[in-house]
Chains A and B, each alone.
Chain A
Amino acid sequence: MTDGDYDYLIKLLALGDSGVGKTTFLYRYTDNKFNPKFITTVGIDFREKRVVYTASNPNATTTGKTFKVHLQLWDTAGQERFRSLTTAFFRDAMGFLLMFDLTSQQSFLNVRNWMSQLQANAYCENPDIVLIGNKADLADQREVQEKQAKELADKYGIPYFETSAATGAEVDKAVITLLDLVMKRMEQCVDKPPADPANGNGATKLTAEQPNEKKCAC
């Protein structure tokens, strides 16, 4: 399926604690299958999917046109020992699927840490992110309430989805929403380039975070 017959190559990346279901989420999205076994990801991996995207931005010249988008979905290891490797890949991704496990309070608490990791390592200070609470099908084991998660997402100004890789609920929607954000970002970046580079677009995002060191060390 990998030929050059597409209009855009969009690179997205899934991150979050170990065991929240990043790999199964992506497997569900690309192959529409579910693998309940837990196989820990070694470092990094990626999956691909070709989708058709219809431009919806009302101001854009591209409104109503459809494009073939080749998605490269990077899967990262949640385990701490791979951290230096996985975070290095943050800078090559255009959008992020930040995932936690609805049945694990700890994984939800760690979302903040992941956010600051993103802020430090992603291509810009306020990249496009969607927050995903996975394993929504396990209602009886639920530890994180929707309201709680929604509040956090609002604080960061990012969309929130409760998905289930097991049933497939909301999986497509979460990815497509992120794709949409990235495509809009693209237009913004190209059409108003000089104005306020770092924080200009979507200034509401990440304002809740303490200002991180802006530039890298050198």
Chain B
Amino acid sequence: MDLTFLQTLERERVLEVLRRDKQLRTIEEDRIRRMKHDLQELRRRGAKSFSRQYGERTCARCQRPLGKLWNSGAVCHGCSHRICSKCRVGVGTADWKCTVCHAYRDVKFRSGEWFLEERAKKFPCTTDKYEVVGDKLLKTYNVLSHISVVPPTPPPYLLSDYAFLSRPGDLKNSKPFTKSMEDLMVSFTSHIKKISTSQNDVRGDLLSVDNRKGSCSTYSTQKSLSDTDINKSSRLFKGPSLPNLFKKSKDSDQEGSSTGAEEETSCGSEYSGGKRGSTCSSISTDCGLFEGVGVAGELELALSYNSDFSCLEITVGSCRNLSHGDSKKKCHPYIKLCMLPGKSSKMKTTVKKNMTNPVYNEVFKFPIERHLLRGKRLQASVWHSGTLRRKVFLGEALFPLDGWRFEDKNSQSFNWYPLCPKAQSSDGGAVEQDGGEAMLRVKFTSAEQGDLMQLSSFKSRQEKDTRRQII
């Protein structure tokens, strides 16, 4: 699918529509993520606790003991667990589901998952069942505009002029330049994709962290990414599209049940989405930590756009009422800033020792052309820096930069934002990537005999999930 048959003006019109669609989908992604998170919570609450062995004599959801004669429970059609009469939702006495199966079904409706599944039946050849045509087009053509902003060796004045002109309102003026650039590039799309990936990586590293007085034109290259690093990050940040989010959050749903276990995870035929009879859980030494503490508190932050230096200025003010990072009531918080989606390097504040109301007042400058802020989100996450480089997630706030009114004095000044729990680990660098290896051990306990049959397929799935968790 390409748009070469369109005239330049028409193509811009279409891309404009697709960008609007993208905005809508970003909102939708967030909504789905929240929904998935709620489901995960519900599932975790109801899951068989790991300290206890799986027992036939307790309700799989509320864990109340089941009687022998009365309230002996019945098997849910969705998850094949024995459920007490209180944890059932549904019509009639025969056609009921347990609370979790019901919630899962509900999420399937509300997230549009049903549609994607239906579509995948008809178009099984598409690799990514979540892919949207508009997104595909947008990706292809956005690459071109990236390139025209960061050409290999442009005269400096041209670069800044162009960047200024190419803001959406001024499209007409920039036409000649874009056109020639695009025509030039069209035939090289695939090559360009590669180039731009690597360029972005390098660009991401050109972030300068300095004080308010410092100018952001003094870039300092902190480190250069090795090939493997690039691969790694590009896999992690792959695609901002709803699809990947969804897929990943699905995986993390399964991981969700594993948190809280210390070294060993026992997993019975715990519920996992109807069709799969058994589920898996895995725990690694490093990942999963972010679920360990409750999220509380607020973050004070100011955002402004400096068009003279074309960079985004993020001023991290302070935090208040943070939750404690570990059981000893210690909290050494720092804040990490990340631009999503994309492959940007992260920026961190200093670590404040022993306080839940830290004051930072640090300014970060993120060089980015104004129009490239479209579709971007700023992720500000708060972490506790524990002993032995352990990091504990304390909460995060997401700032959609799309509709951010930078001109508005009000939004330029400090505002308090509540911290939210993280929905899943893979949404662009949420997991700390300190490398290293993850120790894990998988144990499979079969509750019903039939489950043994699924063991082999289960194993490979486990491996896949694990790999994803490690990268």
Q: Are B122 and A125 in contact (CB under 8 A)?
A: yes
The contact of B17 among A4, A45, A88, A191, by CB within 8 Å, is A45
Bound-state Cα–Cα, A2 to B14, Å: 20
Q: Which residues of A contact B27 (CB under 8 A)?
A: 2-4
Bound-state Cα–Cα, A218 to B20, Å: 32
Q: Which residues of A contact B10 (CB under 8 A)?
A: 42-43
- Interface segment among A89-97, A108-116, A129-137, A161-169: the answer is A89-97
Interface size on B, residues (CB 8 A): 40
Q: Are A124 and B121 in contact (CB under 8 A)?
A: yes
Bound-state Cα–Cα, A44 to B13, Å: 9
Given A61-B89, A85-B3: A92 and B121 interface contact (C-beta under 8 Å): no
Listed residue (A43, A45, A218) with the most chain B CB atoms within 10 angstroms of its CB: A43
The contact of A42 among B13, B20, B30, B114, by CB within 8 Å, is B13
Q: Which residues of A contact B30 (CB under 8 A)?
A: 4
Given A125-B122, A190-B105: A46 and B20 interface contact (C-beta under 8 Å): yes
**Interface residue? A32 (CB, 8 A):** no
Q: Are B110 and A4 in contact (CB under 8 A)?
A: no
The contact of B28 among A9, A44, A191, A193, by CB within 8 Å, is A9
Q: Are B112 and A9 in contact (CB under 8 A)?
A: yes
Among residues of A, the one whose C-beta sits closest to the C-beta of B121 is: A197
Q: Which residues of B contact A216 (CB under 8 A)?
A: 123, 125
Bound-state Cα–Cα, A48 to B164, Å: 30
Bound-state Cα–Cα, A218 to B105, Å: 32
Number of residue pairs A-B, CB distance < 8 angstroms: 96
Given A2-B27, A46-B17, A189-B114: A91 and B5 interface contact (C-beta under 8 Å): no
Dominant secondary structure at the B interface: helix
Bound-state Cα–Cα, A218 to B127, Å: 11
Q: Are A85 and B119 in contact (CB under 8 A)?
A: no
Q: Are B14 and A190 in contact (CB under 8 A)?
A: no
Q: Are A72 and B13 in contact (CB under 8 A)?
A: no
Q: Which residues of B contact A72 (CB under 8 A)?
A: 21, 24
- Closest Cβ of chain B: how far from A22's Cβ, in Å? 15
**Interface residue? B117 (CB, 8 A):** yes
Q: Which residues of A contact B31 (CB under 8 A)?
A: 4, 6, 9
Given A9-B28, A42-B13, A123-B118: A218 and B125 interface contact (C-beta under 8 Å): yes
Q: Which of A43-100 contact B (CB under 8 A)?
A: 43-46, 48, 59-61, 72, 81, 84-85, 88-89, 91-92, 94
Listed residue (A7, A9, A48, A60) with the most chain B CB atoms within 10 angstroms of its CB: A9
Residues 268-283 of B, flagged 1 when their CB comes within 8 A of A and 0 if not, give: 0000000100000000
Q: Are A215 and B124 in contact (CB under 8 A)?
A: yes
Q: Which residues of A contact B121 (CB under 8 A)?
A: 124, 197-198
Q: Are A190 and B108 in contact (CB under 8 A)?
A: yes
Q: Which residues of B contact A91 (CB under 8 A)?
A: 119, 123, 133
Q: Which of B401-436 contact A (CB under 8 A)?
A: none
**Interface residue? B94 (CB, 8 A):** no
Q: Are B125 and A92 in contact (CB under 8 A)?
A: no
Bound-state Cα–Cα, A44 to B6, Å: 12
Bound-state Cα–Cα, A45 to B18, Å: 8
Q: Which residues of B contact A92 (CB under 8 A)?
A: 132-134
**Interface residue? B146 (CB, 8 A):** no
Q: Are B21 and A46 in contact (CB under 8 A)?
A: yes
**Interface residue? B388 (CB, 8 A):** no
Q: Which residues of B contact A84 (CB under 8 A)?
A: 1, 5
- Closest Cβ of chain B: how far from A123's Cβ, in Å? 4
Q: Are A94 and B89 in contact (CB under 8 A)?
A: no
**Interface residue? B177 (CB, 8 A):** no
**Interface residue? B219 (CB, 8 A):** no
**Interface residue? B234 (CB, 8 A):** no
Q: Are A4 and B34 in contact (CB under 8 A)?
A: yes
**Interface residue? B115 (CB, 8 A):** yes
Q: Which residues of B contact A125 (CB under 8 A)?
A: 122
**Interface residue? A176 (CB, 8 A):** no
Q: Which residues of A contact B294 (CB under 8 A)?
A: none
**Interface residue? B357 (CB, 8 A):** no
Q: Which residues of B contact A89 (CB under 8 A)?
A: 133-134
- Closest Cβ of chain B: how far from A209's Cβ, in Å? 15
**Interface residue? B198 (CB, 8 A):** no
**Interface residue? B188 (CB, 8 A):** no
Residues 6-26 of B, flagged 1 when their CB comes within 8 A of A and 0 if not, give: 100010011001001101100
Q: Are B133 and A43 in contact (CB under 8 A)?
A: no
Q: Which of A1-39 contact B (CB under 8 A)?
A: 2-4, 6-9
Given A44-B14, A85-B3, A189-B114: A123 and B28 interface contact (C-beta under 8 Å): no
Q: Which residues of A contact B151 (CB under 8 A)?
A: none
- Closest Cβ of chain A: how far from B94's Cβ, in Å? 12
Bound-state Cα–Cα, A59 to B92, Å: 10
**Interface residue? B90 (CB, 8 A):** yes
Q: Are B109 and A8 in contact (CB under 8 A)?
A: yes
Q: Are B110 and A7 in contact (CB under 8 A)?
A: yes
Given A4-B30, A124-B118, A190-B108: A43 and B13 interface contact (C-beta under 8 Å): yes
Q: Are B109 and A186 in contact (CB under 8 A)?
A: yes
Among residues of B, the one whose C-beta sits closest to the C-beta of A58 is: B91
- Closest Cβ of chain A: how far from B136's Cβ, in Å? 9
Given A2-B27, A4-B31, A61-B91: A88 and B14 interface contact (C-beta under 8 Å): no
* A7-B110, A43-B14, A92-B133 known, 10 other contacts, Cβ within 8 Å: A2-B23, A6-B31, A44-B14, A60-B91, A61-B102, A88-B133, A91-B123, A124-B122, A190-B109, A216-B123
19 contacts between A and B (CB under 8 A): A2-B27, A8-B109, A9-B28, A46-B17, A46-B21, A59-B91, A61-B90, A61-B91, A84-B5, A123-B115, A123-B118, A124-B119, A190-B108, A190-B114, A193-B275, A215-B122, A216-B123, A216-B125, A218-B125
5 tightest Cβ-Cβ pairs between the two chains A and B: A4-B31, A123-B119, A218-B125, A43-B14, A189-B114
